[in-house]
A = this chain, B = another copy of it.
Amino acid sequence: MKKICVVVASRANYGRVKYLMKAIQAHPDLELQLVVGASTLLERFGKAINIIKKDGFTPVRSIHYVIEGETLVTQAKSTGLGIVELSTAFDDLAPDMVVTVADRFETMATAIAATYLNIPLVHLQGGEVSGNIDDRVRHAITKLADIHFVASDDSLKRVIEMGEDPDCVFNHGCPAMDVLVNEDLAINNDLMKQYLGVGKPLDWSKPYVLMVQHPVTTSYGHGFEQVSETLDALKGIENMQKVIMWPNVDAGSDDVSKGIRHFRELNMQEPIYYYKNFSPEDYARVINNAVCCVGNSSSFIREGSFLGVPVVIVGDRQQGREHGSNAVFASYDAKDISAKLRRQIAHGRYIPDHRYGEGDAGIRIAQTLATSRFR
């Protein structure tokens, strides 16, 4: 019985590993040790922990390690505090492997703690390129990790080129796709009424545009202006409902949130609703039923390509990321964004593109973890 410790430290993390966690729980030779921490515990970021528990997962540890401020320095310090506390947890839980996802500061904290504790580190979504500081972090984690479950062929190639042992690199696809094939992605008002946000209530059976825009660490301090361009463009799309999500806990989130709050104060009468969090399934539904998505969430590229939803990617946060034809790129400029939004809305749905997997990643990864020997 291998003990697999999964650290879920943000709402995005959860969406990406939920199906892997289910597969680990279901596998006879694996035992799931779930550690939740950081913004999953925070009210301001939608308390993903509540959704995690409702989904039937019971964390063995819940650890607060977000140092408030959402600046560069607090992001660095949160990483440090995360390492301090995750080390204590790993030492106690003695897992056989630790699983970490993608490229956030919480991911790095998990990676460092596991590495120094000499526990084999499993990394999901390595080898991708997105053109900013996340690249450094992602690639550094690749160099720390023992086992790599990448999400595309390009990534596989890149991880191996960085010098990793090809026998330890697997492309089973991205487990974030799993939800897309396993759930009914229709949406309706009943389903969505459980989510309280602020703004004008939405009719989910009518068209809407989804906006998710996170701060970009390397252009820290410009979040307010950056998001304001997107919001301006969005506002210009008339006779359309809008769904806006608050950003992740990252250096610069405060600026982006301030931009959104400022916009909201001036546009109270508009049909716009503001949410903090959805369950992974409902988030998938919200993407799937959007007329178009705009912002810089990597889900627009991953889930978006799988579903064929038209998306407008703003700025450089996803610059180098491998993407399907559903994605067009705009600069931080309301006019540019607006033009591309209109073009994408006019285009409508794209042909699905499964470059990020077939939706069976969770089960395949669990099986590989159970049957292979690493170290």
A residues apposed to B, CB below 8 Å: 41-44, 61-77, 79-85, 87-88, 90-92, 105, 108-109, 112-113, 115-118, 133, 136-137, 139-144, 158, 161-163, 198, 217-218, 220, 249, 251, 254, 258, 261, 265, 268
Contacts and interface: CB of A to CB of B under 8 A. Distances in A.
Given A140-B143, A143-B139, A161-B163, A80 B75 contact: no
A67 B66 contact: yes
Nearest to A258: B43
Given A85-B88, A108-B112, A112-B80, A73 B117 contact: yes
A136 B79 CA distance: 19
A41 B74 CA distance: 11
Given A81-B81, A85-B85, A139-B163, A62 B115 contact: no
Given A142-B143, A144-B137, A163-B139, A112 B76 contact: yes
Given A64-B68, A68-B64, A163-B139, A88 B77 contact: yes
Contacts of A218: 118
A43 B117 CA distance: 18
Contacts of A43: 69-70, 254, 258
How many copies of this chain does the complex contain?
A: 4
A260 to B, nearest CB: 13
A294 B162 CA distance: 34
A42 B136 CA distance: 28
27 contacts: A41-B69, A43-B254, A43-B258, A44-B254, A61-B88, A61-B92, A64-B69, A64-B88, A67-B68, A67-B81, A72-B116, A73-B91, A77-B84, A79-B112, A80-B84, A80-B113, A88-B88, A116-B217, A137-B144, A139-B163, A140-B140, A140-B144, A143-B143, A158-B163, A161-B161, A162-B163, A198-B261
Contacts of A142: 143
Given A64-B68, A77-B88, 19 more contacts: A41-B69, A43-B258, A62-B91, A64-B69, A64-B88, A65-B67, A66-B68, A68-B68, A68-B249, A72-B118, A76-B87, A79-B112, A80-B80, A80-B81, A83-B83, A112-B112, A116-B217, A118-B218, A140-B144
A162 B139 CA distance: 10
Residue from the set A67, A162, A265 with the largest chain B CB neighbour count within 10 Å: A67
Contacts of A251: 116
Contact of A116 (B76, B84, B118, B261): B76
A116 B105 contact: yes
Nearest to A220: B118
Contacts of A87: 73, 76-77, 80
Contacts of A62: 91-92
Contacts of A72: 91, 116-118
Contact of A79 (B83, B88, B268): B83
